[in-house]
Amino acid sequence: MNEIEVKILSIDKAAILARLASLAWPRVKNEHQVNTIYDFPDLRLLAKKGYARIREVVDRDSGEAKTFMTVKTMISQEKYKIMEENETRIEDAKAGHGLFVSLGLKVRKTLIKDRISYRFEDALIEIDDVAQKEYPFPLLEIETTNPQTLHRILEFLDFQEEDTTSLTMTEILARHSQEVARHDRL
C-alpha cells in the first residue's frame, strides 16, 4: 500500500492533545515501540530512502505485545513523502530479526519511541516522543492515502502545509545530530 506521510517537528504536545480531544477523534494507539532498522552492507535500501524494520510494540494501556516486520521503499519525496509499505504482523520477534540477518541485512539503528495515535477517516495522526538522546522534541506524523484528507487534518490542527516536512526520520535525526555538534563546537 502507498501512503502519504508528513511530519511536523517540535510540536506543542499538550496543545495538540487538547485539540485532538476537542475534535473527538478516537485514540487508537498508546504504545511503546522499539524499531530496529536493517539494511544490506552496501546500504542500498537507505540510499534509496527505504529500509527494512522489525517493530516491537507494547500497548501502554493493555500491556499487549505485538511485532511487525516491514519493508518501506520511497516512491516520492517532493511535496509529501510517499512510501510503498509492505508490513505483516509476526509472532516471534527473534525469528523476524533472524530472517533479516539470514537475508544478509545488518542492524543499522535502533530507535525507541512512545507513540499516541488518533484516527480521522483513512488517516492516522501520531504523536511521537523519540528517545531523548536521539531527538528531544515531540513530533507529529500524519499518514494517509488521500492528499485532501491530509489538508483537512492540517486545517483542523491549525497547521499549514509549510509547517510540514517530507524528511525521513533518518534525515531528521542526522540533521539534529549536526545541529547538536555545531552547537557543541561554539
Domain ranges in the chain are 2-185
What would the pLDDT profile of 151-161 be if each residue is shown by its tens digit? 999 999 999 99
Phi, psi of 157, deg, nearest 5? -95, 10
- 530512502: which residue's cell? 49
What would the pLDDT profile of 74-104 be if each residue is shown by its tens digit? 998 888 889 999 999 999 999 999 999 999 9
Q: How far apart are CA 5 and CA 83, in angstroms?
A: 8
Beta strand extents in 92-165 (DSSP E only)? 106-120, 123-130, 139-144
More confident residue, 111 or 168: 111
Q: How far apart are CA 148 and CA 123, in angstroms?
A: 11
The three three-digit cell numbers of residue 174, written as one number = 542526522
Angle at 185 between CA 183 and CA 186, to 5 degrees: 70
| CATH dotted code for 2-185 | 2.40.320.10
What would the pLDDT profile of 105-119 be if each residue is shown by its tens digit? 999 999 999 999 999
Quote the pLDDT of residue 185: 59
Q: How many CB atoms within 10 Å of residue 37?
A: 21
In the predicted structure, residue 181 carries a pLDDT above the cut 60: no
Quote the pLDDT of residue 132: 80
Quote the pLDDT of residue 179: 67
pTM: 0.88
Q: How far apart are CA 96 and CA 80, in angstroms?
A: 30
Helices (runs of H) and strands (runs of E) counted in the chain: 5, 8
